[in-house]
């Protein structure tokens, strides 16, 4: 079937992106020339199909697979025999040996295809454009996730390419129940965002809520999932992160299987997961991969060091300036001995050391790896050895700061550790002015705040507040997999049962 021939010579300047393509090749070309004005990377290639029909190929340099284009599109088309020149559909069906092609009718559709890297062929006399799925650009290989390393577990990490990331998820969850809804966010960047969830496991209202929050976003560009996080979180002024982010496909898959929603964003290896609670920020994927006993012990170690990361310096300051009676005598005497020549009050000393430590950490992160190690050497010497021997800082304080630093590294999620690091300072000031009472005030304020926070409808402290005793086995402990029978309850309806009961391994279950 032949496309009706339209009146040639429409003035391209009167056209807009929403309009349909013109049948006049020249008009179309002029329009795209004007849209991609001053875009040196857009390539226009005139050719003729079988030496008869004029055609134009538009693509962006570096985003398309040119070799494949030459082999599978240009050479068959240009060597067409005239007999097969009846209509464009026949040509497409017979000559273009590429798996994915698409017909586009409006300028906007064509522009989108070009921007995605798909070459577009415009043919004279036809008001449709054929885009060929040959986009290909340089991308990073799948590497080990640097921010979440494990001893045991998958070494694959998400990459910047969303198609690769969805495939990583799909390879882990083969069920067609894994749904992925795509949308573009960002007026200029048109960033592809995919909402992934398990149909039947995720609460439908939760999925709707996530989608509607994403659709509300109006911004010119999304360059990282952090942009989205700030737009969709429940309590923007809370220091605590209400959304989990991960680089690991296995973590994302595990959360999908618990009925959570994973939001993938093109251009970043970090996907975000909602809803989340404080406790999931304190759990690492490896808790579930190693045997359950060590998983449980490590969790308790983490809880203990979480408290230390928050309170150790302030506790030290409070006890040393207000409650000297509380320390065992011998310990107090060695504190007194080491503090004797220190010119600063304990609070100032603690602040100096903590701030220096934070600065060192920041410097170490931003610098190139080669210089980074130099920073840590200098740091260790400056804040450790030299400060103590110069009599500016007492040795116990160096220990306190070091233990606090290590404690904050035991928190597996970097963004949760940041919250603790920030809150440490106000509590130190409270400890320095009100002693242990100040620390208690600070703690009460934090806990009251935490109880008000929700993440997509999930109370932040759940399952501790509201208390759900049956879920404690994945918070206070890490129960063995055969005992983790039920999924955690998030919001609304949920599919409770993960697996049938009675799977504890036992000799009586064997055949003999």
- Residue 83 tokens read as 């007999």
Minimum CB separation of residue 325 from other proteins in Å reads 4
Cα separation, 505 vs 510, whole angstroms? 9
Minimum CB separation of residue 332 from other proteins in Å reads 6
Q: Rounded to whole angstroms, what are the CA distances from 427 to 265, 310, 311, 347, 489?
A: 36, 8, 8, 11, 33
Residue placing its CB nearer to other proteins in the complex, 340 or 512: 340
Residues at the site binding other proteins, with contacts judged by CB under 8 A: 237, 320-322, 324-325, 329-330, 332-342, 345-346, 388-389, 391, 395, 429-430, 432-435, 438
CB atoms within 10 A of CB 355: 11
Residue placing its CB nearer to other proteins in the complex, 237 or 508: 237
The residue among 119, 118, 171, 121 whose CA lies nearest residue 142 is 171
Minimum CB separation of residue 419 from other proteins in Å reads 17
The residue among 498, 468, 494, 493 whose CA lies nearest residue 483 is 498
Buried b (16+ CB within 10 A) or exposed e, 361-394: bebbeeeeeeeeeebeeebeeebbeebbeeebbb
**Residue whose pair of structure tokens reads 């004029």 in the numeric block:** 54
DSSP 471: G
Minimum CB separation of residue 390 from other proteins in Å reads 9
Cα separation, 40 vs 466, whole angstroms? 59
Minimum CB separation of residue 328 from other proteins in Å reads 9
Minimum CB separation of residue 268 from other proteins in Å reads 24
Cα separation, 167 vs 177, whole angstroms? 15
Residue placing its CB nearer to other proteins in the complex, 340 or 506: 340
Residue placing its CB nearer to other proteins in the complex, 173 or 342: 342
Minimum CB separation of residue 169 from other proteins in Å reads 35
Residue placing its CB nearer to other proteins in the complex, 117 or 435: 435
Contact 305/282 with Cβ under 8 angstroms?
Answer: no
The helices-and-strands tally (H runs, E runs) of the chain is 18, 12
Residue placing its CB nearer to other proteins in the complex, 132 or 398: 398
Cα separation, 93 vs 100, whole angstroms? 11
Residue placing its CB nearer to other proteins in the complex, 50 or 440: 440
Report angle CA 384, 416, 165 to the nearest 5 degrees: 115
Query: In residues, how long is the chain?
Result: 512
Residue placing its CB nearer to other proteins in the complex, 336 or 371: 336
Minimum CB separation of residue 266 from other proteins in Å reads 27
Minimum CB separation of residue 237 from other proteins in Å reads 8
Residue placing its CB nearer to other proteins in the complex, 405 or 435: 435
The DSSP bridge partners found for residue 497 are 486
């Amino acid at each position: 079937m032949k496309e009706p021939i339209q009146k040639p010579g429409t003035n391209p300047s009167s056209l807009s992106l929403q309009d349909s393509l013109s049948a006049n090749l020249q008009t179309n070309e002029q329009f795209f020339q004007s849209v991609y004005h001053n875009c040196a990377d857009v390539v226009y290639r005139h050719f003729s199909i079988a030496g008869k029909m004029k055609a134009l190929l538009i693509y962006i340099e570096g985003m398309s697979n040119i070799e494949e284009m030459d082999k599978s599109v240009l050479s068959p088309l240009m060597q067409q025999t005239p007999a097969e020149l009846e209509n464009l559909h026949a040509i497409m069906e017979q000559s273009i040996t590429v798996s994915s092609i698409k017909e586009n009718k409006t300028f906007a559709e064509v522009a989108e295809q070009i921007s995605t890297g798909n070459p577009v062929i415009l043919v004279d006399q036809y008001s449709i454009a054929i885009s060929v799925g040959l986009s290909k650009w340089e991308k990073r290989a799948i590497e080990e996730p640097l921010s979440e390393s494990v001893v045991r577990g998958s070494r694959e990490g998400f990459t910047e390419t969303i198609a690769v990331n969805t495939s990583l998820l799909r390879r882990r969850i083969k069920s067609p129940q894994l749904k992925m809804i795509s949308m573009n966010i960002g007026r200029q960047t048109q960033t592809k965002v995919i909402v992934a969830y398990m149909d039947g496991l995720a609460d439908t209202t939760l999925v709707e809520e996530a989608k509607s929050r994403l659709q509300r976003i109006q911004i010119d560009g999304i360059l990282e999932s952090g942009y989205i996080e700030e737009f969709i979180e429940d309590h923007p002024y809370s220091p605590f992160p209400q959304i989990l982010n991960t680089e690991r496909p296995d973590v994302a898959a595990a959360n999908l299987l618990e009925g959570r929603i994973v939001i993938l964003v093109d251009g970043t290896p970090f996907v975000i997961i909602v809803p989340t609670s404080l406790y999931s920020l304190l759990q690492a994927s490896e808790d579930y991969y190693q045997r359950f006993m060590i998983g449980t012990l490590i969790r308790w170690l983490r809880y203990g060091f979480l408290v230390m990361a928050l309170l150790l310096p302030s506790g030290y300051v409070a006890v040393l300036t207000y409650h000297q009676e509380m320390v065992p005598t011998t310990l107090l005497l060695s504190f007194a001995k080491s503090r004797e020549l220190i010119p600063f009050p304990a609070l100032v000393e603690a602040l100096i050391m903590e701030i220096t430590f934070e600065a060192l950490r920041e410097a170490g992160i931003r610098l190139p790896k080669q210089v980074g190690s130099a920073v840590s050497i200098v740091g260790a010497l400056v804040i450790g050895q030299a400060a103590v021997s110069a009599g500016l800082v007492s040795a116990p304080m160096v220990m306190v700061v070091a233990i606090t630093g290590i404690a904050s590294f035991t928190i597996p999620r970097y963004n949760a550790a940041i919250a603790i690091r920030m809150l440490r300072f106000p509590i130190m000031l409270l400890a320095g002015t009100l002693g242990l009472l100040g620390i208690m005030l600070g703690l009460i304020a934090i806990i009251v705040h935490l109880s008000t926070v929700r993440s997509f409808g999930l109370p932040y402290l759940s399952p501790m507040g509201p208390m759900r005793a049956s879920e404690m086995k994945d918070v206070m402990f890490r129960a063995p997999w055969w005992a983790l029978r039920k999924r955690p309850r998030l919001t609304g309806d949920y599919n409770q049962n993960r697996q049938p009961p009675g799977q504890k391994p036992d000799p009586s279950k064997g055949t003999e």
